Structure formats: C-alpha cells, structure tokens
Amino acid sequence: MSFNTLGLSDALLRAIDKKGYTTPSPIQEKAIPPILERKDVLASAQTGTGKTAGFTLPVLQILSQGQKLRKRPVRALVLTPTRELAAQILDNVKAYSEFLDLRSMVIFGGVNAKPQIRALRNGIDILVATPGRLLDLHSQKALSLANIEILILDEADRMLDMGFQRDINKILNLLPSKRQNLLFSATFSKEIKQLANGILHNPVWVEATPQNTTAEKIDQKIYRVDQKRKSELIIKFITEGDWKQVLVFTRTKHGANRLSQKMVKNGITAAAIHGNKSQGARTKALGGFKKGTIRVLVATDIAARGLDIPLLPHVVNYELPNISEDYVHRIGRTGRAGASGQAISLVSQDEISYVRGIEKLLGEKLQSEIVEGFEPTLISENTNSERNNKSRSSKPKGNSRNYNRRRRTKK
C-alpha cells in the first residue's frame, strides 16, 4: 500500500514525498482512513511506529477542508505529557502542513509564556500543548477552547502516570461536547480504559503491535552486577564496544547527574536530561545527542518519554523501572523503523523482583549473563544457569571489530 491510496490530499502527499516516505507504517495505514471519516479512534501504538503522522496527516486534511474562520480560533488540540514530545509533534505538523494554509504552534511550561501568548493572539489552527501550561494560559484568557473540533490525547498512559488525570478532566470540561476524539497509548491499564470510555464515542480500535509487547528486532539481555559496580561496567561496555550513541535510563534525577558526570570523567561525552533541567539545557543535550557530539544521554523516564531518535542502536537500563510497563517504553527507543537494536539491563540483587514482573508482562524469560570480573556478591536462585551463560568477552555485541572474537554464550 502507498500513501496515495489513503485518501490524502495532493498537498499532503507532496509534503510526504518531500520527507522521503513512500509506504505508510501499519498504524498509519489503519488509523488514517477512520480519522478521515471523522470517527473516534482508540489506538494502541508504541513509540517508533509512526503514530504521530498517523494522526497528524488526517487532522491536517480535515482542518484544511473545513470552513475557515476569520480569527483562526484553535480547532485541533493535541495534548501530550512532555515538552520534548510536544516540540517533536509540532515539527511533524509543520513539515506536513508546508503546502497548506494552516497555522500551528506549541505551548509548554519551563519557558516564558509571553511569546506564546503573543503567538496565540495571531490565530492558530492546531495547538500542541502540555496540560499544565494549557490550563495556565486558558486561566489568563490567552486562548479559547470553544471551537475545538478534534482532540488528540497522545501518550495517554504516560499522562496518567505523571498525574495529569485532574488536568485532563479540567480540559475536557472546557471543550465543546461535539468533537472528534483520538486517543493514542502504548499500554492500556484500567485507568486508560476508563478514560477512553469517558470521552470516546463508538471508537474504531487500531493497533500497530500487540498490547504490551516489545519490538522483535530488539536484542534484550540482563547483566547481573552489584549496584556499586554498575557505572564501572557500563563504562567498560561503551568504551570497549566503541558505542557511539547510547540512551541510558536511571530512576532518579540525581542518579542521572552523577552517572553523566562519571562518564565525562572517563572521557565519554555525556549529558543528563530530567525535570530539573531547563528547557534550553534539555534541547541542547538532545540536539548534541542526535548530531553525535554527545555519545551518551542519561535520562529519567519522564524526560525521555516520546524522544524521537532515529536508528538508536543501544538502550541501557542502568536501573530497572519499578513499573514493568516502563521497561517496554524504555527499550522501545531502539529497534525502530525496521532497524535492529540492543537493550541491556544492569540488574542488582534488589532488582530481581522487577525482572520477574517484566518477564510476566512480556510473557518470556530474559537472557541473563554475568560478566567475568563483575560477579555479584549475592546471586539469585538462577546461579547455575547464569554461570553457564558467563560472558567470556566481558561485553555484549556492538560495532567494534573486537566483537568478532567473542565466544557465543549458551541460551
């Protein structure tokens, strides 16, 4: 199937062609037609499946074909949990609307609100926003939501995880009752289903991958190691494997800072992103990571949510998340767009229960190894099998020529 068969306008097809795309992803193929038919859609789609274009393209077409109002009130609202994701969605909207007479902008916290207010006064067709800043500007009467035709909730599961339920409810009360609703989520908890039932009307269900599963092309592996030796081991992997681009997850902001500083001291260019960092610092760090001037990006779950990093080869769980679903979100940053990727987790004794939860969610057992010289002082009931899987090369697969000498481990 090609984009030409989805019912998109010539202006949108021209923009798609300019970006170099020819074939829609599964989520785009399934979501675009019902959205164009003005149906509510409930979509199960993980990061990296092309879901942003899946809702951006049909929404732009609907708005471009609708009645033009003189002062350009906001007609489509995209709600998203983080600043980074909001900015990336706006980039997509602007790219695909290049040949359309539509205006778009993004609003989020952490930056001066005055420029956002001035832009809103000039008229906006499609607004991308984080919930907090949207409510703040609405309370200042800087914008009206009375003309919203389409509401898109992107990364809805993460918004609820971050405590935005109350804000979302407030926003829903400000919108016209008659509107089209699109909800995108990587996982579907009881809370997400309740939210969907409250706002969607006879929705069309679409999904790109089975619920709560991980990409088939991601090589997942666990390395058992003491907590105090994790930084030493990850630095060994990165330097000896000559890894050029690595996204590392920590549980805390302070942990992200400490690890990135230790990387720099060992000659590895690194930066941390988390909620305490200014938007400018986060944007600079992400830009350097994408350009290759920063090899390692150390992030907390909230800061990394929605990061769009094409062909990311390595994701490392420096610390496992205590919520199993977050593991799926984390490793979903690699193995995207048909490329292969590697996700490794450094697991200390106190994280064994998290491993069990993740394996239960995935419905599979994760391969576990112990690196020679980094044997944990306390080992679990899987001691014998892990010893049998001990890595002789002391590093997982990578892009260094030294890997050719690696002995394959038993699985």
**Type and span of the H or E element at 220:** strand 218-224
- At residue 383 the predicted structure's pLDDT band, cuts being 50, 70 and 90, is very low
User: Average of pLDDT values for 122-135?
Assistant: 95
Are 338 and 187 in contact by the 8 Å Cβ rule? The answer is no
Residue 9, helix vs strand vs coil: coil
C-alpha distances (whole Å) from 407 to each of 310, 338, 382, 399 are 30, 27, 21, 16
Q: Nearest 10 degrees: CA dihedral of 325, 330, 335, 338?
A: 60
pLDDT at 282: 82
Q: What is the mean pLDDT of residues 91-113?
A: 93
At 357 the three-state DSSP class reads: helix
Mean pLDDT rounded to a whole number for the chain: 85
* Distance in angstroms (rounded) separating the CA atoms of residues 190 and 74: 31
Q: How far apart are the C-alpha atoms of 3 and 23, rounded to whole Å?
A: 6
Structure tokens at 217: 């092309």
Handedness of CA 132, 135, 138, 144 (dihedral sign): positive
Which residues, listed in sequence order, are joined to residue 342 by a DSSP beta bridge?
Answer: 219, 314
pLDDT band for position 68 (cuts 50, 70, 90): confident
> What are the C-alpha distances in Å from 324 to residues 115, 145, 217, 344, 351?
40, 36, 20, 15, 12
pLDDT of residue 2: 84
Tokens read off for 329: 């979100």
Please give the Cα distance from 57 to 35 (Å, whole number): 9
Query: What pTM was estimated for this model as a whole?
Result: 0.64
Please tell me the least confidently modeled range out of 63-72, 111-120, 164-173, 344-353: 63-72
Residue 88 contacts residue 125 (beta carbons within 8 Å): no
The span from the CA of 352 to the CA of 357, in Å, is 9
Is 5 exposed, middle or buried, given 0-12, 13-18 or 19+ CB atoms closer than 10 A? exposed
Which of 4-13, 20-29, 212-221, 401-410 has the highest average model confidence (pLDDT)? 4-13
Q: Is the pLDDT of residue 400 over 50?
A: no
To which residue do tokens 């001037």 refer?
293
Q: Which pLDDT value is given to residue 303? A: 62
What CA–CA distance (Å, rounded) separates 153 from 96? 19
Separation of alpha carbons 248 and 288, rounded Å: 15
User: What separation in angstroms does the CA of 381 have from each of 39, 216, 376?
Assistant: 52, 28, 13
How do residues 239-294 score in pLDDT, each as one tens digit?
Answer: 999 999 999 999 999 999 999 999 999 999 999 998 788 778 888 888 899 888 99
pLDDT at residue 404, rounded to an integer: 42
The mean per-residue pLDDT over the stretch 143-151 comes to 95
Residue 399 clears pLDDT 60, i.e. is over it: no
Q: How is residue 126 written in tokens?
A: 């499609």
What value, to the nearest 5°, has the Cα angle with vertex 302 and ends 296 and 306?
Answer: 75
In this prediction, residue 47 has a pLDDT band, given cuts at 50, 70 and 90, of low
Whether the per-residue pLDDT at 84 is higher than 90: the answer is: no
Query: Residue 393: its pLDDT value, please?
Result: 45
Flag whether pLDDT at 110 surpasses 60: yes
Place of tokens 């920590």: 250
Instruction: Among 76-80, 280-284, 306-310, name the one with the lowest average pLDDT.
Output: 306-310
Q: Are the C-beta atoms of residues 116 and 107 closer than 8 Å to each other?
A: yes
pLDDT at 360 over 90: no
Report how far residue 410's alpha carbon sits from residue 407's, in angstroms, rounded to the nearest whole number. 10
Complete DSSP assignment for 123-170: --SEEEE-HHHHHHHHHTTS---TT--EEEE-SHHHHHHTT-HHHHHH
CB count, 10 Å around CB of 392?
11
Top-confidence residue, 249 or 382: 249
Q: What is the mean pLDDT of residues 34-51?
A: 87
Q: What is the mean pLDDT of residues 356-383?
A: 80
Reported as a pLDDT band with limits 50, 70 and 90, residue 340 is low
pLDDT, position 256: 93
